[in-house]
Amino acid sequence: MQRYTTPAIVLHWLIAVLIIGAFTLGLVMTDIPGISPTKLKYFSWHKWAGVTVLVLATVRLLWRLKNRPPELPEAMPAWQRGAAHGLHHLLYVLIFAVPLSGYFYTLAAGFPVVYFGLFQLPVLIAKNPALAETLKPIHYWLNMIMAGLVGLHVLAALKHQFVDRDGTLGRMMPGRSH
């Protein structure tokens, strides 16, 4: 079966690792009471990971627009194709929406992002505590929705791999060509 292009595979897995890392850090850091150097460090790492996801997601979207993904297995029923496409579209929306909501949240809270501690990223909006209060739950719930959808995405991949055994997952695996 035809595989995704190498850049698409690399971008998929890089983004996957960063999203899982940033999501976990997000849960851990917001659980630390008060403030501590560790907490502030985690906040910085979380923001750097999120911004990196945003950059990679942009590259990925541009690549995707120029490169058609490989066909789905012929035996796959129409509803599954529809569900797969719908889920993929939602995930594409969220890999932008989640980091963007976090980026504007931190700007509204008055903490600009200094990427890797090296240079400050654009401060697109002024500090605005009321907006920060609005964006906080939005950022949280977009994350929870994404976590749910990623769960579905993984379950579907595993089902194709171990139940249907139709090679769907192989299209996105590195270094294996059929």
Partner 1 sequence: MKYTRGTIAALLAGVTLIASAIPLKTDVAHSNVSAVFKQMNVPVESKFKSFNAQIDYDAAHPDKATARVDIDTASFDIGEAEYNKEVAGKDWFNSAKFPKATFVSSGIKPVGAGKLNVSGKLSIKGKTQDVTFPINIKAEGGKQVFEGQLPIKRLAFNIGEGEWKDTSMVADEVVIKFRIAAGQ
Minimum CB distance to partner 1 smaller for 86 or for 110? 110
The footprint of partner 1 on residues 37-96 (CB under 8 A) is 37, 40-41, 44
Closest distance between partner 1 and the C-beta of residue 49, in Å?
Answer: 14
Number of residues that bind partner 1 (CB under 8 A): 20
Minimum CB distance to partner 1 smaller for 129 or for 151? 129
Instruction: Give φ, ψ of 110 to 5 degrees.
Output: 90, 15
Instruction: Give me the DSSP letters along 21-48.
Output: HHHHHHHHHHHS-S--HHHHHHHHHHHH
Closest distance between partner 1 and the C-beta of residue 111, in Å?
Answer: 6
Q: Are 99 and 54 in contact (CB under 8 A)?
A: yes
> Could you tell me which residues come within 8 angstroms of residue 170 by beta carbon, excluding any fewer than 6 positions away?
1, 3, 176, 178
Contact pattern from residue 15 through residue 34 relative to partner 1, giving x for each residue in contact according to CB under 8 A and a dash for the rest: ------------------xx
d(CA 152, CA 90): 12
d(CA 29, CA 39): 6
137 binds partner 1 (CB under 8 A): no
Minimum CB distance to partner 1 smaller for 84 or for 132? 132
Instruction: Give φ, ψ of 121 to 5 degrees.
Output: -85, 160
36 binds partner 1 (CB under 8 A): yes
Alpha helices in the chain (DSSP H): 6-31, 37-66, 78-108, 129-159
Closest distance between partner 1 and the C-beta of residue 51, in Å?
Answer: 13
Contact pattern from residue 100 through residue 119 relative to partner 1, giving x for each residue in contact according to CB under 8 A and a dash for the rest: ---------xxxxxx--xx-
Residues forming contacts to partner 1 in the complex (CB under 8 A) are 33-37, 40-41, 44, 109-114, 117-118, 120, 127, 129, 132
